[in-house]
Amino acid sequence: MPVCDSPYNLKEGLVVRLIRECENVYTFHIATEESAQPGQYNMLYAFGMGEAPITIASKGEDYIVHTVRAVGDVTRHIDQLKEGDRLYWRGPYGNVWELEKAFGRTLLLISGGLGLAATRWVFEEALKSSIKRLVHIYGSKDYENLLYKYLYEDWSSKAELHITLSKPHPKWKGRVGLVTEIIEKLELEEDTVVFICGPDPMVKACVKLLESKGISPENVYASLERHMKCSVGTCGHCMIGPYFVCKDGPVFRYDLIREYFEREEV
């Protein structure tokens, strides 16, 4: 079969490890030596169903990690894969978290729900970097939906990890409430760098609060989620103002995206 140059060509990799995170959410380790960087995403393909943009949650030497929630046809199909099955994808796409901006400063990560998949890898990299102080706030709607429970012990031994649930649960001894309640109590320097990924309303509320604590939106970076179909900056679906989230993002310096992100129906 002739190999043709097409931006939609797919690659193949074996599922080498499968972890059930919670109901309808699975983490896949996929064998590949392709390079990628924290912040980027891949388009995962399901035969006969289509593709879905999924952030790269982490990476080992010979595998990448994807965490997938079954919400649509494509992701429901992917979540049925077993260890040893083949997964097809294209990527990586998009820009990266600018971790070097936080070197020698405080880095605050804020993750909401499945947004933790988009901040996990950069957090892991930050643990190994020259960050002065590393704080990670993670909010989940309930106990059942907590991701990566098996990593918390390691994380909390190396960084300030604050996990909060929207709803109490008998098994949960930790905090209950919104991520903003934690931010409010934190003492943060004005040059703190913030990486944030979560539902749009959470991002807006956090930025407002951070501003009141003297942290400028120029130091806040948000990873956005929009309808990405082609991921190569051509199909137009993911546009927000003049930006294509698929290629100009998904990570945006907040002051550059604010007027489009905060305005209704842009």
Partner 1 sequence: MEDKGEGRGYIVSYQGLEELFCRLKEGWRVVAPKLKEGVILYSEVESLRELPFGHRNREMPGFYCLERAEGYFTYTHPVNSLKAFLHPSELVLMRVRTSDGCLEFEVCNSEGNFCFFDVRACDLFALEVLDRVFVHKNPHPDSYYRKLREGAFVVAVNCAYATSTCFCTTMGTGPEVKEGYDLLITELREGFLLEAGSERGRALLESLGNKKEAGEEHFLQKRERLREAEAIMERHFEIGGLPDRLYGRMDSQYWKHIEKRCLACTSCTQSCPTCFCFDILERNDLKLKESERIRVWDSCFSPAFATVHRYNIRQSVHSRYRQWLMHKFAYWMDQFDLFGCVGCGRCITWCPVGIDIRQEIKKVLGSE
Helix (H) / strand (E) element for 254: namely helix 254-261
Task: Provide, rounded to whole angstroms, the least separation between the CB of residue 259 and partner 1.
Answer: 8
* Closest to partner 1 by CB, 200 or 218: 200
Q: Distance between CA 72 and CA 21 in Å, rounded?
A: 18
75 membership: H or E segment, kind and range: helix 73-78
Q: Cβ of residue 9: shortest distance to partner 1, in angstroms?
A: 7
- By beta-carbon proximity to partner 1, the closer residue of 131 and 147 is 147
Closer of 85 and 189 to partner 1 (Cβ): 85
Tokens 């943009």, located at residue: 53
Q: How far is the CB of 167 from partner 1 (least distance, A)?
A: 21
Residues that bind partner 1 (CB under 8 A): 1-10, 12, 47-51, 71-72, 85-86, 88, 225-227, 229-230, 232-237, 239, 241-242, 244, 247, 263-266
- Write down the least CB distance from residue 159 to partner 1, Å: 30
| Cα gap 144→138, rounded to integer Å | 14
Q: What minimum distance in Å lies between the beta carbon of 101 and partner 1?
A: 23
Let me know: does 94 contact 247? Beta carbons within 8 Å: yes
In the bound state with partner 1, the residue whose beta carbon lies nearer, of 61 and 265, is: 265
Q: Among residues 65, 190, 38, which one has the least CA distance to residue 129?
A: 38
Contact (Cβ atoms closer than 8 angstroms) between residue 69 and residue 25 = yes
Which CB atom, from 97 or from 261, has the smaller least distance to partner 1? Answer: 261
Comparing CA positions, the residue from 47, 205, 221 lying closest to residue 119 is 221
Which CB atom, from 4 or from 170, has the smaller least distance to partner 1?
A: 4
SS3 19: strand
**Own/partner long-range contacts of 181-186 (Cβ < 8 Å, ≥24 apart):** 182/137, 183/108, 183/110, 183/137, 183/209, 183/210, 183/213, 184/209, 186/108, 186/135
Task: State the minimum distance, in angstroms, from the CB of residue 266 to partner 1.
Answer: 7
